[in-house]
Chains A and B, each alone.
Chain A
Amino acid sequence: MSQAHIVGPMAPAWGGGVSPFRIGWNKLMMWIFIIGDALLFAGFLAGYGFLRLASGSWPDRSQVFELSFIALMTFTLITSSATMATAVGASQRGERKLVLVFLGLTILGGLAFLAMQAYEWSGLIRAGASLASNPWGVPLFGATFFMITGFHGTHVLVGVLILAITAARFQTGRGRPEGVELAGLYWHFVDLVWVFIFTLFYLV
């Protein structure tokens, strides 16, 4: 009777007392956070695009980067997303051992990515690249590279920490499938951002 005046097919879902998207508040919050974070990267990439279009010349990426190495980094991160998805599925089915295994694999993937990123950075820095200048062309090339990959790398690091905490919780039996799902959302987001960076910075 209290719902009587709320008409339409959406009424039961939106009539208060339940979550309209049938997801908990924490998942909703994670989604909104991801949207905001995506816009942060969009801001960086937009700035990069603006400046790159405005500058007369831009270094040839094949001269600067070992593209097969970058491809390996991308493959590693995408694989880690796959292991993450497996972990989420396992957590929903309550298979604790499997969750730990695949969380562990995801963490390894993340750490491997970070190690490769660090290796790439050290190589470039030794060749003379920095925020303020680089040997291949306009100084903004180095600045945008380090800024964007730096922010992304930090996000990967935070992701690894989140996964480690989630895994530790599962280890002690205090973990909930929801926690794995939330971590998974974040991890997939970080992966997706890398796809954009990879495409817009390294390839195009």
Chain B
Amino acid sequence: MAEKLETAHAGFLRRYVFSTDHKVIGIQYLLVSMGMAVVGGLLAVLIRLQLAWPGEKWPWLGKLFPDGMAGGVMKPEFYLSLVTMHGTLMIFFVVSLALLGGFGNFLIPLQVGARDMAFPFLNMLSFWTLVPGCLIMLGSFLVEGGAAAAGWTAYPPLSAVRSAIPGSQWGQTLWIVAMALFIVSFTMGGLNYVTTILDLRTRGMSLMRMPVTLWTLFFASALGLVAFPPLTAAAVMLLLDRHFGTSFFLPSGLFFGNQVLPNEGGTPLLWQHLFWFLGHPEVYVLILPALGIVLEILPVFARKPVFGYRLTVYSLVAIAFLSMIVWGHHMYVSGMSPYLGEFFAIGTMAITIPSAVIGTNMIATLWGGSLRFTTPMLFALAALVFFGTGGFGGIFLGNAASDIYLHDSYFVVGHFHFMIGGVTLMAAFAGCYYWFPKMFGRMMSERLGKLHFWLTFPTFYAIFLLMHYMGLAGMPRRYYAFDRFEFLEALQAPQVWITLIAFVLSAAQLLFLINFLGSLLRGAVAGPNPWGATTLEWAAPSPPPHGNWGDQLPEVHRWPYDYSVPGAPTDFTPQTAGPAEVPITF
């Protein structure tokens, strides 16, 4: 056991604020991610407002943002800050936070049968390092020049030269500092996750008896631990270029504001290589836990084992490894050597194979099942569908030749929203509805949940599907308005439809928030295992006490998918059930 249990006499601060209990920390992460999601969503609404009605006057918004929307009209630099911060917040401070910080923290010790993480104090530090990161990110809107505006990808020279765009004054520096805090927080968390999964599994919990969720969290954490450091190095170099006169990313002869800058020797391509070395594995860090949640929920609501457990694990290994050698597919037209382009295209196409195996395994899990369409199941199915469509769309982009046309177009925006918004967000919702009873001892409202689903799934699909076609029509991304080009004229009408649908989508999320908060206070009381699931967390009370397991750690005798075992008394057999009670089938 890693650390002495705290007594129940700890004060409010120790128990709920600076808690070292992984369950509290997980919920803290989840709540923060929900708050940041509201901010990120509002940024998206503002973006959509501008794109549907470019140059329109919004007087009340002008009062809210006196700088960025002076006179009620959105300035291009403000628009670019919105785009930059929407991406940054959603990727790091919402999805990563919810899936890894929230579900990772809550589930890992419970699903491996441990009392807590390996190093609970470090876990607490990880959350409290993140909080200042969030505050600094949000605070960057208030500094002179506004928030960073060079895209979440922060390509220099735009992000390195302070006069290149207003957001590159202090906003970009604060962005770098906040990202550094995020990376430190992630590293502390990731160290805990990997160590706990390797070292603290309870008796009988061999690696091949772990739920797929644990495998995905393991690989996502390991991938993140290995992929973030080069970004840290790049961020340091960017900071030095911005404030200390170095030229890591800046060549000679740059001309800004009527003068030639004194830098020499650097190249913007170095940033791109270092950034995408993290950037590509990062998207797998986000999607792997989401896939794990889907593969966790499908068997429960099909009442049968997941299809292809072994092959799924092998595919996860392949994806994790391959994801580290394909970063160049973000740089096909960057000016790097075309031979590199060929190499990266071949690797990127290879990664479609294990991804397709996982997708097939998800679909095959449904075959022959007894499907129950609860809210978690509906959202898990939505994630499955988005994984398919979005994943297939990625083939267009992974192919170097077709990417020449589609690079930096709305096809990319549609694709990554399917993956990061579709798969990960739907999976996060599925996870919330599914594990809410375990976290809080109450059930969320199925009625509100289904309404939330039916208002979210079709609208999300419509918005980002349309963007794929707009990309095929040639529409570039990060444009403040599309009214300067004739070839984009016909696409103005879809912009309006997308915005209107986006309003519905955003409003629908209120249903989730109302459901979440309302159920906390007045939801139906939940037993330890309301869904009839087999994984270890459902053997603990809802919510589990400090230390999770009482006097005795659980002992595992079977894999987590013994649903509908022939001859068993119930249609699910928990992992702790011995072989004498129900035969072991796998």
**Which residues of A approach B to under 8 Å, CB–CB?**
1-6, 11, 14-17, 19-21, 24-26, 28-29, 32-33, 35-44, 46-47, 50-51, 54-55, 130-133, 138-140, 143, 147, 151
Contact = CB atoms under 8 A, between A and B. Distances in A.
20 contacts: A5-B584, A5-B586, A6-B204, A6-B209, A14-B206, A15-B205, A16-B205, A25-B196, A28-B198, A33-B187, A35-B225, A39-B230, A41-B233, A43-B277, A50-B267, A50-B270, A131-B245, A140-B246, A143-B248, A147-B240
A44 B234 CA distance: 8
B274 interface: yes
A15 B265 contact: no
A47 B206 contact: no
Given A16-B204, A50-B273, A140-B265, A1 B579 contact: yes
Interface in B160-202: 187, 191-192, 194-196, 198-202
Contacts of A37: 229
A20 B199 CA distance: 7
B463 interface: no
Contacts of B196: 25
Contact of B248 (A20, A51, A130, A138): A51
Interface stretch (B345-353, B464-472, B550-558): B550-558
B578 A2 contact: yes
Interface string B226-263: 10111111101100100011111000000000000011
A15 B207 CA distance: 7
B264 interface: yes
Given A39-B226, A41-B233, 13 more contacts: A2-B557, A6-B206, A14-B207, A17-B202, A17-B204, A19-B198, A28-B199, A29-B191, A38-B229, A46-B274, A54-B265, A131-B245, A140-B246
A39 B274 CA distance: 11
Contacts of B2: 25
A25 B201 CA distance: 12
B247 A139 contact: yes
B266 interface: yes
Given A36-B226, A43-B232, A131 B240 contact: yes
Given A15-B203, A32-B194, A51 B230 contact: no
A32 B200 CA distance: 16
Contacts of A26: 118-119
Interface string B480-512: 000000000000000000000000000000000
A201 to B, nearest CB: 15
Nearest to A151: B236
User: 9 tightest A-B contacts by CB?
Assistant: A43-B233, A132-B245, A17-B203, A43-B230, A16-B205, A40-B229, A39-B229, A25-B118, A143-B246
B341 interface: no
Contact of B203 (A16, A40, A41, A43): A16
A133 B263 CA distance: 9
A54 B113 contact: no
Nearest to B556: A16
Contacts of B231: 43
Interface string B525-560: 000000000000000000000000000000111100
Nearest to B2: A25
A143 B240 contact: yes
Contact of B246 (A2, A32, A43, A132): A132
B321 to A, nearest CB: 15
B119 A47 contact: no
B246 A139 contact: yes
Contact of A55 (B203, B265, B274): B265
Given A51-B266, A131-B245, A35 B226 contact: yes
Contact of B200 (A6, A25, A138): A25
A18 to B, nearest CB: 8
A51 B2 CA distance: 45
A21 B198 CA distance: 9
A29 B556 contact: no
Nearest to B188: A33
Nearest to B251: A54
A156 to B, nearest CB: 17
Nearest to B232: A40
A36 B232 CA distance: 11
A2 B555 contact: yes
A17 B555 CA distance: 9
Contacts of A36: 187, 225-226, 228-229
A29 B195 contact: yes
Nearest to A142: B246
Contacts of B273: 50
Contacts of A132: 244-246, 262
Contact of A47 (B195, B205, B233): B233
Contacts of B584: 4-5
Interface string B121-159: 000000000000000000000000000000000000000
B245 A28 contact: no
A154 to B, nearest CB: 11
B248 to A, nearest CB: 6
Contacts of B267: 50-51, 54
A139 B263 CA distance: 8
A3 B204 contact: yes
Nearest to A48: B248
A51 to B, nearest CB: 6
A28 B195 CA distance: 6
A23 B205 CA distance: 18
B196 to A, nearest CB: 7
A132 B236 CA distance: 15
Nearest to A24: B199
A19 B118 CA distance: 12
Contacts of B579: 1-2, 4-5
Contacts of A29: 118-119, 191-192, 195
A140 B586 CA distance: 60
Contact of A2 (B119, B203, B247): B203
Contacts of B208: 6
Contacts of A44: 233, 236-237
A36 B278 CA distance: 12
B531 to A, nearest CB: 24
Contact of A139 (B112, B118, B230, B265): B265
Contacts of B204: 2-3, 6, 15-17
B244 A51 contact: no
A33 B230 contact: no
Contacts of A38: 229
A141 to B, nearest CB: 9
